[in-house]
Amino acid sequence: MLFLYREVLGIDISDWNIQALRAKERKHIPVVLTREEVQSVIANLDGIYRLIVKLMYGCGLRMSEVLNLRIKDVDFGFNTIYFWESKSQKDRTLPLPLSIKEELKIQIENVRAIHQEDLKQGFGSVELPHRLDRKYPNAKFETKWQYLFPMRKVSRDPRSGIVRRHHILEATLGRNIRQAAQKTKINKRITSHIFRHSYATHLLQSGIDLRSIQELLGHKSVETTMIYTHVVAEMNRAKVMSPLDM
């Protein structure tokens, strides 16, 4: 209403002495899986989707971040994964989970073989970000620019009409996660983002400071990360014994 009077109607209301307060935004405590529940979901995933979810949980990634990874973003020399853009538009690096290092090497070799076959079939190009294809016209055919988790089949890009191999669809990954969750019979709403919540909470439980977790998650403000302190507080509250049990 104040915006209407000031900006739309152009009425000066500075002398009206209106003591207006903004409504507080409700803070939702995210659902978090225990380490055992994470292991159970992963164990019920098949094929490449198991590796994807391992990487999501191991690095606290959003679904879009893990699916948009390119081969060049994985640095085995420094055991680092690079993220050049994300929801917060902030580039960052994350430590590579060493437990899946060999699996990732095998996956990259599989992608390399698939890409070589695509080139023989007359395909092999990939969509490049930020119009890099204009600056580097041959880069789209290079192996290092290929998606880390490509689709099984090539498809026609509806925007450009080019037949190429895109990354695995978000809907496909989400469906596989839901199916795995149903097999575990865990009575929680399990989505791809729950692994990111679990990652942050488990780091906080293990003693990692909040500022470091903020950097790992790519949050602009530490206030966004502080929601996980509430999650841990709720978990600790569960340790309080009921008088009935005394």
Active site positions, annotated: 62, 87, 193, 196, 219, 228
Cβ-based neighbour number of residue 95 at 10 Å: 12
Three-state DSSP at 147 gives strand
Q: How far is CA 115 from the centre of its chain?
A: 25
- Using only C-alpha atoms, the chain has a radius of gyration, in whole angstroms, of 23
Residue with tokens 């969750």: 181
Instruction: Enumerate the β-bridge partners of residue 163.
Output: 156
Q: What are phi and psi of 74, to 5 degrees?
A: -100, 115
Cβ-based neighbour number of residue 139 at 10 Å: 14
For residues 5 and 16, the answer to whether their CB atoms sit within 8 Å is no
d(CA 38, CA 36): 5
In 60-166, where does DSSP find H-type helix? Answer: 63-67, 101-120, 132-135
Report which of 32, 86, 34, 79 is spatially closest to residue 196, judged by C-alpha positions.
32
